[in-house]
Amino acid sequence: MADRPRSPTIIDVARRAGVSKSVVSRVVSGRGSVGEETRLRVLDAARELGYVVNAVARAMVAHRTYTVGVFVRDAATPFYGHLLTAMQERAAFHGYRVVTATGSGRFDVEDEHRALETLAMLRVEALIVCSGLLPSERILPFAARLPTVVAGRPETHPSITSVYCDEEEGGAALADHLVGLGHRDVAVITVPTSSSVTMGPRTAAMARRLRERGVRVLEIAGPHRETAGAWVTEVLRHPAVTAVMAPSDRHAAALLEQLQLRGVAVPGQLSVTGYDGIGDLASPLIGLTCWRQPIDLVGGRAVDTVVQLLDGEQPPAHHQALPGSLVTGRTTAAPARDS
């Protein structure tokens, strides 16, 4: 790094104001008492020098950083982007800063683990983990040393605290919706829990509920949205299928795109459901039928919980499952009679 002038310290300010550094410290931190006259002189000196408190040095002695570390998988995903915003806002309310870390774009477990270590190095006071990828075992060692909350994914490990939206409930509700419309043959795009602890359980719940209600289920493995073309091919090979359930809104969008390409009418020939209800895909323009997660609530509650943990209080529950809601759009309808 190029040499650059060091920022002024309280000592510089003290010299300029003709007082001791203790006085400056009291003035800028607002603790202790100082004469009104000297206070103004110090403030003037500070302003003239462009003094800004050094949070690093302050943290050094205070043993506090007033910082919560948030790990999000990818801020570019609407789900995590919204979560991040909700948390940042709520943390500010509690007087905490948020520092965010992400894996460096590779999305593997090692990478994400490193990101958590970075947060620990920065001496964040608590951790909020938002990633459907990282398994509980990798979170445990951090949770042992730092108040930790897992947000936005079902996490039932007994020694981890979590806030999420019940995936079983959502998957089942969407399945019920289709059954109620009269669908008897439904395809589900499934994701293994090993690649996503959110989409895995929710698609499993969809399939399970459908079967419970006597519906024939065609399971199609679809971890990646890029393979939507193949899903459609598979679905069309089974003419009895009248509806397709996607693991997320973005998966549903990819699906709709492919169906549009092949001239399959939605919901005329095929009904489609999504999951999340967040961001631009949730707009009435598309009218996607989906399960909406209360993301602002999840983010806010996660921060509240982590703050309670910091204050030594017991959170209301170890695992808080927040209620979502069904959004009925225009991509689902009763199946056509001839199918």
* Contact between 332 and a copy of itself per CB under 8 A: no
Pick what 19 binds: DNA, a copy of itself, none; C-beta below 5 to 8 Å, kind-dependent: DNA
List Cβ<8 Å contacts ≥24 apart for 310-316: 310/125, 310/126, 310/147, 315/161
- Please spell the DSSP secondary structure of 34-92, one letter per residue: --HHHHHHHHHHHHHHT----HHHHHHHHS---EEEEEES-TTSHHHHHHHHHHHHHHH
* Contact between 97 and DNA per CB under 7 A: no
- Binding a copy of itself (rule: CB under 8 A), the pick from 9, 118, 136, 269 is 118
Subset of 63-92 contacting DNA (CB under 7 A) = 63
Subset of 12-41 contacting DNA (CB under 7 A) = 18-23, 25-26, 28-29, 31-35, 37-39
Which residues sit opposite 244 in a β-bridge? 187, 272
- Binding a copy of itself (rule: CB under 8 A), the pick from 44, 48, 212, 257 is 257
- Binding a copy of itself (rule: CB under 8 A), the pick from 21, 109, 219, 279 is 279
Pick what 212 binds: a copy of itself, DNA, none; C-beta below 5 to 8 Å, kind-dependent: none
- Binding a copy of itself (rule: CB under 8 A), the pick from 13, 98, 175, 270 is 98
Bridge-based pairing state of the strands 67-72 and 126-130: parallel
Binding-site size, DNA (CB under 7 A): 30
Between 26 and 250, CB nearer to DNA: 26
- Please spell the DSSP secondary structure of 100-141, one letter per residue: EE---S---HHHHHHHHHHHHHTT-SEEEEE-SSS-HHHHHH
CB of 100 to DNA, least distance (A): 23
Q: Residue 198: what residue type? A: T
Between 6 and 106, CB nearer to DNA: 6
Tell me 334's DSSP state: P
**Do the Cβ atoms of 130 and 152 come closer than 8 Å?**
yes
Residues that bind DNA (CB under 7 A): 6, 9-11, 18-23, 25-26, 28-29, 31-35, 37-39, 53-54, 57-58, 60-63
